[in-house]
Structure 1
Amino acid sequence: MDGSSMSALMVSSNGHFPATQALQLWENGVLKEREGSMMDAITCYRQALKLDEGVEKTYRRKVLEDLRLAKQLRELKIDNGSGGDKNEAETEIMAGEEGHGTLKDQEAEEIKPCWILDMLPKEILLQIVHHVVRTSSESWLNLSLANSTFNALCFGDPAPYKTFAHDIYALQHYDEASMMLNGVSNLDSLETTLWQGDCAKMLRERPYVKFEGIYISTVNYLRHGANPEGSLSLIRPVHMITYYRYFRFYPDGTCLRLLSTDQPSFVVKSFAHENNVRHAEICHWSLSLDDNFSRLVITRSNEKYRFQETLEIKNQAHKRHHRFMWVESCAFDKEDKRLDFGMRNEKPFYFSRVKSYVTRQ
């Protein structure tokens, strides 16, 4: 391939080199961020990084160079008493200064740049990431999208993973009987044995219950109806039945359970302990060490029976620990006689984050 062909490939469809186009996109992102349009800014930043991974450093160098040149121009001494002709550069400077006050006024108004990411040490920036991670997992992700520096600190350093793991696993409840049967008396020691301090790996492999949202199972099935009395039709009507199961978990080991035909848009916003949701039941939950910590047991009881629902925590594509699969559902009477319920129509639960549910501090 000759040089002209190579140059043609390096130029984008609009006639700009990728690096130049990336710089323009990054500058547009900065303008959008100043206007408060964060989502548009992030879109521009992402597109720029796809074209040139080093665009942020290029932009910083360009801004610093522009500031240096501007400072040099302001420091130029124009000798009005020399009587000589001004050269072309001086004429341009004077023309640019018209309508913008004197040089002394501009020096007084000069705002020096503050490159905070360059000024602050890594330890301080990690403390910022630490506090954001403790606020919510969504804030952690959003911070990583701010720029390449925070992206590296959020996902390239083990400290944020350690913070998140410490917070989320400290809120999990484990069945004591399961721990005794497996000979486990100290979960911290077990963590060290299994994951050897690799918190990122532990978060990928060790399931946990999420508290910042709600788990919803949508069940649809067909039911044959009956013909009206006196009808001679041989075709029986078919009804589509839809109902929903809701679970909201709390760090104190309780959860709110609801079986309803009401859609999530009517249920989610007020689904909380303090609202005394009609027909909702207060249950208790715990995790078992069986199947790599993935077994979740939910119990509730009334005057006659003790109900137990067992679910398994699974991934949903790239979303970790996002889905509950049914294992079994049963009840025990006062004599401990077991009654199993059919699972034919039941569907998995999927997690949906709800901003108003954020509880971690």
Structure 2
Amino acid sequence: MEKQPTSSDLEQFRQQWQQEVSARTQQQAKGSNSNHVRTKSSTDQGHRPERLINKPPGPHPLADKHDEEVIPESSAQAVLTERLGHLDIGDADADEFSKLGRAEPTTALEHYERAVEKEGQGKLGDSLSHYRRAFKLDDSVDQAYKEKHFAHKWKPSKPNPSNAAVTVPSTAHHSQSAEAGKQAVPQTTAQLIASFADCDIENAPPMIEGDAPPPCPIRKLPTEVLLELLDHIARIDISIYARLASVCKKLAYHVYTESSIWKRISLGAEFGLASQQYHFATDIQGRPIIWSAVEDEEEDIDERPMPPVTDALFPANQDWREILHSYPRIRYTGVYISTVNYTRSGGTSATPSTWGSQVHIVTYYRYLRFFRDGTLISLLTTHEPIEVIHLLTKENIALVRSGKTVDPMKFAGAGQTLSQQPNMPPPPSAQNILKHALRGRWRLCHPSLDSAEVASNSIVPGDVHIETEGGAGPRYQYTMHLSLKHGNNRNKFATKNNKLIWKGFWSYNSITHDWAEFQLRNDKAFWFSRVKSYGLGY
């Protein structure tokens, strides 16, 4: 049985409870008195009493705890953005004639870099203005430019101090370093590609970790079927075929070592030597020429049609990939541009001082666009490439020469061609540019010419002969003799066949049969520039 509480115990509990209540009441009274005194003192000093502000509750302590292995979504996105920000492969088919917004330079070094860029493009007026601004901001900006772009050429990467202590070489140390050096010798490209022979095409990684990877049907194809597929890709676009080498090791091995595909492309009519014109296939106006062979009359080498290019003209163990890369070929996917700059004196000054004498910087451009049928367009103008290259089509020239007059409100845009607007001619500005364009024809030196024929005709492999209309009238005809060269011969992997240098330029009078040679005093070489709107040149 439980023990019942007595009256004495209840009385003792009641007294203890009363003492606790009275102590708590006295403590609350003291706190209110102190707050009242503080408020009164602050009010007496002239300060405004503090107002109560509704503030949101603070974060829970557990909110600051994060699992070290789990990255928040925002942090993961920031890290991924930072990593991908450094990756920029660009557009492989992009050209340099698109108007892109660029920030104006602000510092002296930025002005100097922009001036060097403009000077390389042939825009000497803009280059001179940037040079002046750069030297106004910093008179030693040229030294800063050299330190930034050319310091690595003369500064040693590991300088050896003159006061370095002389140490005794260790035999064991040198033997270990020699063994490490033997193991660290890098492989050649051929050895590296050969090691990919036994690799397989791997599946793409799963989108979710732990899930099954997506299917890869091309992995199950036999080698014969895969090579046939690669051959079709190479015929459609050789640049896409070359970029397949960066997909996986197996495709890199086939792209690099499959000589039959490179041979087909090198001798084919899509991008190879069969697409070149080794004789004049048309007249200057672009009409096809019908050849007729006369047995009794000896034919001139410059006029007879040449045989097709076959593998019999090349050695048996020839690298066909190198043939396609470096053998003389005219490119149809862009335009060859020659930028010419020269200076001439301006008006004479009224005072004998030469500080006020004017000097004019003259800039003009020559354009050559080649077509697969043996025709071409030649243009000499002062307009910049971005205003001209999209107008160089045979359809636009035919419309301009037709003399049609259309309401100016119905003109097409300056960048549109006939294929985009079939019923509208170019705008008046484009007509002003294209009225100076000249039609013509071209041919390339045939690789089967022997040394005797080359010596008698003063031509070498890679020479290009061009005949165009005369700019002074229908009785004149222009003849150009150019030679295909590589822009950078030192770099093995640099772009090839991207330069046309002058060998001669003449004018022929069809009535008097007189020849007049132009003095190429200021003219520069032609450089090839890719134009995306041209496609593959078909």
Alpha-carbon spacing, 1:137–1:243, altered in 2? closer, same or farther (3 Å): farther
Which residue is equivalent to 2:276?
Answer: 172
* Structure 2 match to 1:210: 331
CA distance in 1, matches of 2:226, 2:440: 41
Q: Secondary structure at the match of 1:320?
A: coil
Cα distance change of structure 1 residues 308 and 149 upon mapping to structure 2, 3 Å threshold: same
Relative distance call for 1:112 and 1:148 in structure 2 (3 A) is closer
Aligned to 2:245: 144
Whether 2:446 is the aligned partner of 1:325: answer: no
Q: Which one of 93, 103, 127 corresponds to residue 228 of structure 2?
A: 127
Task: Give the 3 Å change call, closer, same or farther, for CA 140–178 of structure 1 in structure 2.
Answer: farther
Of the candidates 450, 463, 475, which is equivalent to residue 304 of structure 1?
475
1:192 to 307, 312, 315: 312
2:485 corresponds to which letter in structure 1? K
SS at match of 1:180: coil
In structure 2, C-alpha distance between the alignment counterparts of 1:345 and 1:178, rounded to whole Å = 37
Matching residue of 2:396 = 275
C-alpha deviation, 1:113, in angstroms: 4.1
C-alpha spacing 1:141/1:231, structure 2 compared with 1 (3 Å): farther
Q: Higher helix fraction: Structure 1 or Structure 2?
A: 1
- Contact kept in structure 2, 1:283 and 1:300, CA below 8 Å: yes
| Structure 2 residue aligned with 1:21 | none
> Which residue matches 1:357?
534
Question: Quick check: 2:200–2:250 contact (8 Å CA) kept in 1?
Answer: no
Sort the Cα spacing of 1:39 and 1:305 in 2 relative to 1 into closer, same or farther, 3 A: closer
Q: Is the 8 A contact 1:195 1:202 kept in 2?
A: no
- Cα distance in 2 for residues equivalent to 1:357 and 1:231: 54
Name the stretch that deviates more: 314-323 or 123-132.
Answer: 123-132
* Residue 273 of structure 1, CA deviation: 1.5
1:305-348 deviations in Å (ceiling 9; x for gaps):
22101110011222111111111101111233221111121111
- Correspondences of 1:1-361 after superposition (within 5 Å): 39=89, 60=202, 113-165=214-266, 166-167=268-269, 168-175=272-279, 180=301, 186-188=307-309, 191-196=311-316, 198=318, 199-228=320-349, 230-235=350-355, 236-276=357-397, 277-289=434-446, 290=454, 292-302=460-470, 303-317=474-488, 318-334=494-510, 335-359=512-536
Separation in 2, partners of 1:62, 1:251: 41
Partners of 2:343 and 2:325 lie apart in 1 by: 38
Distance in 2 (alpha carbons) for counterparts of 1:149 and 1:38: 25
Listed as ranges, the gaps of 5+ residues in structure 1 are: 1-27, 41-49, 71-109
In 2: Cα distance, 1:247 partner to 1:111 partner: 55
Find the aligned partners of 1:59 and 1:38 in 2 and give their Cα distance. 25
Amino acid of the structure 2 residue aligned with 1:299: E
- Structure with greater proportional strand content: 1
Amino acid at match of 1:267: V
Equivalent residues of 1:133, 1:163 under 8 A apart: no
CA distance in 2, matches of 1:345, 1:278: 24
SS of the residue aligned with 1:142? helix
Q: Deviation of residue 130 (structure 1)?
A: 2.0
Q: Deviations over 1:202-252 (max 9, x none)?
A: 324530101011111111111122225x44433532111111111111001
Q: CA deviation at 1:154?
A: 2.0
Aligned CA distance change for structure 1 residues 223 and 140 (closer, same or farther; 3 Å) = farther
- Quick one: structure 1 residues 62 and 173, their matched pair in 2 at CA, closer, same or farther if it must change by over 3 Å? closer
**Greater Cα radius of gyration, structure 1 or 2:** 2
Matching residue's letter, 1:329: F
Counterpart-to-counterpart distance in 2, 1:299 and 1:140: 35
Residue aligned with 1:139, SS: helix
**Deviation, structure 1 residue 181:** 6.9
Say if 1:243 and 1:259, in contact at 8 Å, map to a contact too.
Answer: yes
The total of aligned residue pairs comes to 274
Task: State the Cα distance separating 1:279 from its structure 2 match.
Answer: 1.7
Deviation digits for residues 27-46 of structure 1 (CA, Å, limit 9, x no counterpart): x9xxx8xxxx9949xxxxxx
Q: Which amino acid aligns with 1:144?
A: A
1:133–1:38 CA distance, 2 compared to 1 (3 A)? farther
For 2:465 and 2:526, locate their aligned partners in 1 and report how far apart those are by CA, in whole Å: 14
Percent identity over the alignment is 24
**Which stretch has the larger CA shift, 349-358 or 207-216?**
349-358
